[in-house]
C-alpha cells in the first residue's frame, strides 16, 4: 500500500488503518497462547485444550466478522455508538487471563467447561479485535482506499509476529499476570485508535455509486478473473478455508500429543498457517500451482511413511514431513482462496465466509471427530480432502497454467497420495506390522488409548507411548514390567521389606504399581482419565490381584491432592504423563509444595523423568533446590526378557538419612537447574539438544 501521491489527511488515515489491523492481529495471537496456557492446569494438562482454544477463538472470530459485516452496511451515529459500547465493555472485562490458578466449573463435559472459561476471560476483547480487519477493510474501500485486501496481509503479518514472539520473547520473560497486564495496556491504547478509525469511517456515506467510482480510481484493484473469480462463491470460499483449518488442528494434535502441550508447539503450525495467508494475499506472484502442488505431494508421501513407521520415524523426519505438508497444503488452499476473492466492495462478506470455514474446520476436529472416530484419523482425512479439493477445482479454475499437463500431474500425484494415506489410516486402525491385535480403542478429551495383545503380553498405550504391559502366561501374569520392574528405582523402593505403607500414585496406567501392594498397605491412585481406569480394570489383573487396600480417585492428581487433608504418604509417586506430553502444572514449584504436604517427614517422592525430547530432571532439580530437598536420579536399562523398559526416576526426600542405603551416595550436581511455576514455564529451557 503506497502512500505516495496522497494528501496529508489520507496518509494519516492509511497509516492508522494499517497500524490498527497490525496491532489488533498481534494482540489476537498473543492472547490465544496466554489463555491456553492459563487453562492447561485446570484441565489436567490435556493437549486437547489447544484444539478447544482454537475452536473457541475461531468461533469468536466468526462472531467478530459478523459484527463487522453488519456495521459495514450502515453509516451514521448508531453503529458508531454500538461499537463504542462493545469497546467499553471489552475494556471493563480486562484482564483477559484470570489471575491465579482457580478452579473451573465442575461440569460433566470438559469441553463445555473450557468453552465457558474462555468466554468468561477473553470473549469481548477478542471479538473487538476480530472485527478490526474486516471492518477497516470495508471502511477503507468506502473512503476511497486502494486494494483493501492488502490490509489482510498486514493483519496476518501482525498475527505471525505476535504468535512467534510469544514463546521466544514473552513467555520466557514474563509470568502470566505480567503478560496479561502488558496486553491490557496495549489493548487500551489501541482502543482509542480504533474508535477514531471506525468513527471516521462510519460517518462516510454509503451508496451504490461509491464502488463504481472506486473502480475508476487510478491504482484501484482491477476487476480481473484473478480478483473477481466470477465462478467462485461462498461454497468455494467455505471449502478453501475449512480444509486447511482441519489440517492445522490435526497436525498440531499429532505433534503435541507426543511432546508437550505448551505454547511453543502450538505456535509453529499456526505460524505456518498464517504465513500462507500473508504470502498468498500479499502478492499474486507467491502462489504458483506448478510449484506448490508437487511439493505438497512429496511431503504427503513422506508423512505417510512416517505414519506407517508407527512412531519409529525420527523427530526430524516427523517435523519436516508434517510441517511441510501443512504449509504446502495451506499454500494451495489459501492461494486458490486468494484467486477466488470477490471485488473490494464485497470484502466484508468474503471475510465472513472465510471465518465460517475456519470455524467449521475447528468444530470438526475438536468436537465431531472424537465422537465419530476412536483414533486420530483427521490428519489422513485432511490430506485426502486437500487432494480431492484441488482435483475438483482443476476444471473450474480459469487461471490454471497449462491445464492439460497439470491435470495429468495432479491425477498421477493423487493416485499415489490418496492410497498412501488410506493405507496409513488402515494400519493405524488395525495395528498391523507389529504383531499386535487391537482389542479395544478409546478416544476422549484426554487423548487416545489403545489396548493391544501380542502372543506374549497385553499392552496399554496412550498415543505412541506404552504405559503398561502385562504378560499373558499364568506363570508371569501380575509381574511388574515396563517402567516399574523390580530393578527400577520405584521397584526397589516398593519391593523393599518393612512395615505396612501408605502409597500415593499420580497416574494409574495399567495399574502395574498395585502389584507391589502387600497385606496392610494402602495404595491411593489418582487418574485424570476415567477411560484409563476402565481399561485397567477390564484388561489387566494388577488392581484385582493386589493384596493392598486400593482406592482410585478420578480427576487431576494435583487438583485432587490440593482438596484433601494431608494423607501422610510414606511414598508418593508421580507418573502422570500422557504419551510423551508433559503436564507442566505437575512440575511447578507450587505443585511440589502440595506433594510435600502429603508426605511423612521421612517420606519419599518419586518422579518419572523419562522423556524422549525434554530433560525433565532439570525441572525436578530446580524444585528440589527451591524446597531444600535431597535429590537422587537413577536410570535403569531395558531388559526385554523381563519386559522392562529403560527408565529414569528422580527420588526426593527432606533429608539424606531418609533415603534407602543404596541412595545415600550423593549424585553429581545437576547443572542449569530450571524452576517452573504456575505462571511461568519455558519449554525451550529443557529441550534436549
The string of pLDDT tens digits covering residues 15-33 is: 888 899 899 999 988 888 8
Separation of alpha carbons 508 and 526, rounded Å? 7
Residue 465 scores a pLDDT above 70: yes
Range in 94-108, 253-267, 385-399, 510-524 the model is least confident about: 94-108
CB 219 within 8 A of CB 315: no
The arithmetic mean of pLDDT across residues 645-649, rounded, is 90
- Measured on CA atoms in the order 240, 244, 249, 250, is the torsion positive or negative? positive
CA distances from 92 to 28, 31, 178, 347 (A): 18, 16, 18, 31
Are the beta carbons of 366 and 54 closer than 8 angstroms? yes
- Residue 282 burial (CB count, 10 A): 17
Instruction: Answer yes or no: is pLDDT of 209 > 80.
Output: no
* 448 phi, psi to nearest 5 deg: -110, 125
Least confident range of 40-49, 178-187, 443-452 = 40-49
- Cβ proximity of 390 and 410 under 8 Å: yes
Return left, alpha or beta for 293; rule: phi > 0 is left, psi -120 to 50 is alpha, else beta.
Answer: alpha
What is the rounded distance in angstroms from the CA atom of residue 619 to the CA atom of residue 635?
17
List of domains in the chain: 7-100+109-205 (1.20.1250), 232-344+367-430 (no CATH), 475-686 (3.40.50.150)
Q: Give the pLDDT of residue 650.
A: 92
DSSP single-letter state for residue 465: E
Q: How buried is residue 394: exposed, middle or buried, by Cβ count under 10 Å (0-12/13-18/19+)?
A: middle
Looking at residue 430, its pLDDT comes to 64
Q: pLDDT of 546-580, one tens digit each?
A: 999 999 999 888 888 999 999 999 999 998 764 45
Q: Which residues pair with 651 in a beta bridge?
A: 606, 632
Question: What average pLDDT does this structure show over 454-459?
Answer: 89
- pTM of the full predicted structure? 0.71
DSSP secondary structure letters along 553-622: EES-HHHHHHTS----EEEEEE---STT---GGGSSHHHHHHHHHTEEEEEEEEEE---SSB-THHHHHH
Tens of pLDDT, residue by residue over 310-322, are 656 676 788 889 9
Q: Are 363 and 246 in contact (CB under 8 A)?
A: no
pLDDT band at residue 435 using 50, 70 and 90 as cut-offs: low
Please list the residues that pair with 464 across neighbouring strands.
none
Residue 210, classed as helix, strand or coil, is helix
pLDDT at 126 over 60: yes
What would the mean pLDDT of 71-76 be, rounded to a whole number?
71
Q: What is the pLDDT confidence band of residue 232, given thresholds at 50, 70 and 90? A: low
Backbone angles phi and psi of 499, in degrees to 5: -70, 160
For residues 679 and 176, what is the distance between their CA atoms, to the nearest angstrom?
5
> 451 with 539: CB under 8 angstroms?
yes
Backbone angles phi, psi at 527, to 5 degrees: -130, 125
Each as own residue / partner, the long-range contacts of residues 203-206 (CB below 8 Å, 24 or more positions apart, any chain) are 203/75, 203/76, 203/80, 204/75, 204/139, 204/142, 204/143, 205/75, 206/73, 206/74, 206/75, 206/142
511, 525 Cβ separation under 8 angstroms: yes
**Confidence band for 543, pLDDT divided at 50, 70 and 90:** very high
Average pLDDT over residues 588-609: 93
- Output 491 or 119, whichever has higher pLDDT: 491
Which residue in this structure is represented by grid cell 525436578? 620
Whole-number Å distance between alpha carbons of 516 and 453:
24
Query: Is the separation of the CB atoms in 653 and 603 below 8 Å?
Result: yes
Q: Where are the beta strands (DSSP E) in 433-539?
A: 437-444, 447-453, 457-462, 465-471, 502-506, 522-527
Partners of 505 in beta bridges: 525, 573
Q: What is the pLDDT at residue 208?
A: 43
Q: What is the model's pLDDT at position 464? A: 67
d(CA 399, CA 621): 60
Q: Is the pLDDT of residue 210 over 60?
A: no
Question: For cell 491445464, what's the residue?
Answer: 403
Indicate if the alpha-carbon torsion angle 71, 75, 78, 81 is positive or negative: positive
Higher per-residue pLDDT: 90 or 664: 90
Hey, what's the cell of 110? 470438559
Distance set, CA 668 to CA 19, 545, 608, 631, 632 (Å): 53, 40, 19, 10, 9
Is the alpha carbon torsion for 274, 278, 284, 290 positive or negative? negative
Q: Is the dihedral of CA 577, 578, 582, 586 positive or negative?
A: negative
The DSSP secondary-structure symbol of 221 reads P
Q: Give per-residue pLDDT as tens, 618-641.
A: 899 999 999 999 999 998 998 888
Q: CA torsion sign, 422 to 459 to 615 to 587?
A: positive
- CA–CA separation, 229 vs 192, rounded Å? 37
d(CA 601, CA 443): 40
* Buried/exposed 167-186: b ≥16 CB within 10 Å, e otherwise: beebbeebebbebbbebbee
Residue 45 has a pLDDT of: 60
C-alpha–C-alpha distance, residues 571 and 503, integer Å: 5
Amino acid at each position: 500500500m503506497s502512500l505516495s501521491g496522497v494528501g496529508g489527511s489520507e496518509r494519516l488515515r492509511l497509516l492508522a488503518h494499517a497500524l490498527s489491523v497490525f496491532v489488533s492481529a498481534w494482540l489476537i495471537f498473543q492472547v490465544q497462547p496466554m489463555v491456553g496456557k492459563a487453562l492447561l492446569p485446570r484441565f489436567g494438562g490435556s493437549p486437547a485444550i489447544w484444539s478447544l482454544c482454537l475452536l473457541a477463538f475461531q468461533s469468536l472470530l466468526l462472531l467478530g466478522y459478523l459484527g463487522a459485516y453488519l456495521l459495514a452496511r450502515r453509516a451514521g451515529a448508531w453503529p458508531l455508538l454500538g461499537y463504542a459500547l462493545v469497546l467499553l465493555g471489552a475494556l471493563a472485562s480486562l484482564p483477559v487471563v484470570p489471575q491465579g490458578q482457580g478452579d473451573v466449573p465442575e461440569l460433566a463435559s470438559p469441553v463445555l467447561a473450557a468453552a465457558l472459561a474462555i468466554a468468561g476471560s477473553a470473549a469481548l476483547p477478542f471479538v473487538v479485535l476480530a472485527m478490526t480487519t474486516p471492518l477497516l477493510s470495508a471502511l477503507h474501500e468506502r473512503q476511497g482506499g486502494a486494494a483493501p485486501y492488502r490490509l489482510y496481509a498486514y493483519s496476518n503479518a501482525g498475527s505471525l509476529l505476535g504468535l512467534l514472539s510469544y514463546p521466544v520473547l514473552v513467555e520466557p520473560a514474563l509470568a502470566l499476570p505480567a503478560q496479561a497486564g502488558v496486553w491490557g495496556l496495549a489493548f487500551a491504547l489501541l482502543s482509542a485508535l480504533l474508535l477514531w478509525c471506525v468513527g471516521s469511517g462510519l460517518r462516510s456515506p454509503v451508496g451504490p455509486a461509491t464502488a463504481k467510482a472506486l473502480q475508476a480510481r487510478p491504482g484501484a484493484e482491477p476487476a480481473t478473473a484473478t480478483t473477481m473469480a466470477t465462478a467462485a462463491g461462498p461454497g468455494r470460499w467455505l471449502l478453501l478455508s475449512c480444509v486447511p483449518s482441519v489440517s492445522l488442528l490435526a497436525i498440531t494434535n499429532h505433534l503435541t500429543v507426543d511432546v508437550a502441550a505448551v505454547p511453543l508447539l502450538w505456535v509453529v503450525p499456526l505460524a505456518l498457517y498464517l504465513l500462507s495467508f500473508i504470502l498468498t494475499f500479499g502478492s499474486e506472484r507467491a502462489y504458483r500451482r506448478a510449484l506448490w502442488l508437487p511439493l505438497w505431494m512429496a511431503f504427503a508421501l513422506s508423512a505417510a511413511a512416517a505414519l506407517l513407521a508407527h512412531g519409529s520415524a525420527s523427530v526430524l523426519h516427523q517435523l519436516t514431513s508434517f510441517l511441510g505438508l501443512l504449509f504446502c497444503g495451506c499454500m494451495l488452499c489459501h492461494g486458490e482462496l486468494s484467486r477466488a476473492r470477490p471485488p473490494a466492495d464485497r470484502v466484508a462478506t468474503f471475510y465472513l465466509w472465510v471465518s465460517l470455514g475456519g470455524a467449521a474446520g475447528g468444530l470438526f476436529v475438536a468436537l465431531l471427530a472424537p465422537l465419530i472416530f476412536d483414533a486420530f484419523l483427521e490428519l489422513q482425512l485432511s490430506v485426502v480432502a486437500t487432494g480431492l479439493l484441488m482435483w475438483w477445482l482443476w476444471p473450474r479454475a480459469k487461471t490454471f497454467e497449462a491445464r492439460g499437463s497439470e491435470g495429468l500431474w495432479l491425477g498421477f500425484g493423487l493416485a499415489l497420495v490418496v492410497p498412501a494415506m488410506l493405507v496409513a489410516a488402515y494400519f493405524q486402525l488395525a495395528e498391523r506390522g507389529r504383531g499386535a491385535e487391537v482389542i479395544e480403542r478409546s478416544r476422549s478429551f484426554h487423548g487416545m488409548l489403545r489396548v493391544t495383545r501380542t502372543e506374549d503380553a497385553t499392552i496399554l498405550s496412550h498415543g505412541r507411548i506404552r504405559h503398561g504391559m502385562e504378560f499373558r502366561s499364568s506363570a508371569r501374569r501380575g509381574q511388574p514390567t515396563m517402567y516399574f520392574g523390580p530393578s527400577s528405582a520405584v521397584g526397589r523402593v516398593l519391593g523393599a521389606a518393612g512395615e505396612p505403607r501408605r502409597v500415593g500414585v499420580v497416574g494409574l496406567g495399567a495399574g502395574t504399581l498395585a502389584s507391589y501392594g502387600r497385606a496392610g498397605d494402602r495404595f491411593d491412585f489418582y487418574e485424570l482419565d476415567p477411560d484409563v481406569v476402565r481399561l485397567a480394570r477390564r484388561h489387566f489383573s494388577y488392581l484385582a490381584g493386589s493384596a493392598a487396600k486400593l482406592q482410585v480417585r478420578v480427576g487431576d492428581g494435583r487438583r485432587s491432592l490440593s482438596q484433601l487433608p494431608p494423607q501422610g504418604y510414606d511414598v508418593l509417586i508421580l507418573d502422570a504423563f500422557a504419551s510423551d506430553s508433559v503436564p507442566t502444572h505437575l512440575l511447578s514449584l507450587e505443585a511440589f509444595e502440595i506433594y510435600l504436604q502429603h508426605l511423612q517427614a521421612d517420606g519419599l517422592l518419586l518422579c518419572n523423568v523419562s522423556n524422549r525430547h525434554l530433560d525433565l530432571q532439570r525441572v525436578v532439580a530446580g524444585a528440589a533446590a527451591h524446597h531444600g530437598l535431597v535429590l537422587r536420579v537413577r536410570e535403569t536399562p531395558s531388559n526385554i526378557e523381563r519386559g522392562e523398559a529403560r527408565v529414569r526416576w528422580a527420588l526426593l526426600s527432606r533429608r539424606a538419612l531418609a533415603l534407602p542405603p543404596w541412595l545415600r551416595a550423593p549424585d553429581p550436581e545437576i547443572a542449569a537447574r530450571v524452576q517452573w511455576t504456575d505462571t511461568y514455564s519455558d519449554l525451550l529451557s529443557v529441550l534436549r539438544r
